[in-house]
């Protein structure tokens, strides 16, 4: 098993949070493709592990977006701040989610979004260069990311449908049902900014 390799220089018998995080990353990728020891080693090399803490910004709106993130544990929020200061939350990423400002990552443009760590978290980052080279080094990654983007596309399309067809109250209900773990971790203000309404209005909805 690959983990044994990574633990060669781990003198005691405990599994470090680094190892745990790495396991989560590899397990996530292996949901869709098969990896041998060499593949895992390669991924271990190109994915940089980081322990980040609450309130840290993984990306600041306006800066070049160079990294794709995998959240091994904890939570991250992606949001935009408009000229007049209004915040809009695009997505929350908790355990095992991938997140970045994808538009700006793929086109290497200035970020429309900021990425904010919501609690102390373990993440992996993959640089744009490694992302592009990865497809040559490990062609199966085409399949992995095909499925990842496929799911992401479907998710966003359903969100669009909900946003334009349902009432705010229905959308809030659906959010709570769909993402109960997120509801526990984030503030109501953040949920409001995800739904595109004011915190005050969300508050009145909740009274029922």
Partner DNA sequence: CGCGACGTTGATTTGCCTCAACGATTGTGG
Partner DNA sequence: CCACAATCGTTGAGGCAAATCAACGTCGCG
Distance CA 150, CA 70 (A): 17
User: Which of 169, 174, 183, 185: binder of DNA (CB under 7 A)?
Assistant: 169
Residue closest to 97 by CA, chosen among 79, 114, 121: 121
Q: Per rule CB under 7 A, is residue 163 in the interface with DNA?
A: no
> Which residues ranging from 10 to 39 are in contact with a second copy (CB under 8 A)?
none
Give the Cβ contact number of residue 189 at 10 Å.
15
- Pick from DNA, a second copy, none: which does 62 bind, CB < 5 to 8 A by kind? none
DSSP character for 109? -
Q: Which residues are bridge partners to 88 per DSSP?
A: 80
Distance CA 46, CA 59 (A): 19
Q: Per rule CB under 8 A, is residue 41 in the interface with a second copy?
A: no
Select the span of 11-19, 109-117, 153-161, 191-199 touching DNA (CB under 7 A).
Answer: 191-199
Q: Which is nearer to DNA, 139 or 196 (CB)?
A: 196
Q: Per rule CB under 8 A, is residue 201 in the interface with a second copy?
A: no
User: Which of 33, 46, 152, 197: binder of DNA (CB under 7 A)?
Assistant: 197
Q: Per rule CB under 7 A, is residue 53 in the interface with DNA?
A: no
Residue 93 contacts residue 69 (beta carbons within 8 Å): yes
Strand residue runs (E) in the chain: 48-52, 57-59, 67-81, 87-93, 97-99, 114-127
Taking CB atoms within 8 Å and a gap of at least 24, the contacts of 80-86 are 80/112, 80/113, 80/114, 81/114
Q: Per rule CB under 7 A, is residue 173 in the interface with DNA?
A: no
Q: Per rule CB under 7 A, is residue 206 in the interface with DNA?
A: yes
Residue closest to 89 by CA, chosen among 69, 61, 110, 50: 61
Q: Which is nearer to DNA, 138 or 202 (CB)?
A: 202
**Residues of the shown chain interacting with a second copy in the complex, contacts defined by CB under 8 A:** 80, 82, 86, 88, 90-91, 102-103, 106, 112, 135, 139, 142-143, 145-146, 149-150, 152-154, 156-161, 163-165, 193-196
Chain residues binding DNA by CB under 7 A are 54, 167-169, 187-189, 196-204, 206-207
């Amino acid at each position: 098993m690959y983990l044994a390799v990574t633990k060669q220089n781990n003198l005691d018998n405990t599994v470090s949070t680094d190892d745990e995080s790495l396991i989560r990353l590899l397990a996530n990728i292996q949901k869709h493709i098969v990896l041998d020891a060499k593949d895992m080693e390669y991924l271990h090399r190109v994915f940089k592990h980081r322990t980040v803490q609450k309130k840290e910004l993984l990306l600041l709106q306006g800066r070049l977006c160079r990294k794709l993130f995998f959240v091994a544990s904890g939570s991250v929020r992606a949001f935009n701040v408009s000229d007049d200061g209004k915040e809009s939350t695009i997505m929350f990423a908790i355990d095992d989610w991938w997140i970045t400002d994808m538009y700006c990552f793929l086109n290497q443009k200035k970020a429309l979004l900021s990425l904010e760590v919501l609690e102390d978290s373990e993440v992996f980052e993959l640089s744009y260069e490694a992302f592009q080279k990865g497809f040559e080094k490990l062609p199966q990654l085409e399949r992995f990311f095909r499925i990842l983007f496929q799911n992401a596309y479907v998710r966003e399309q359903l969100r669009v449908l909900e946003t334009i067809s349902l009432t705010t109250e229905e959308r809030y209900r659906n959010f709570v049902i769909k993402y109960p773990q997120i509801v526990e971790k984030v503030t109501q203000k953040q949920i409001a900014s995800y739904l595109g309404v004011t915190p005050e209005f969300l508050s009145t909805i909740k009274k029922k």
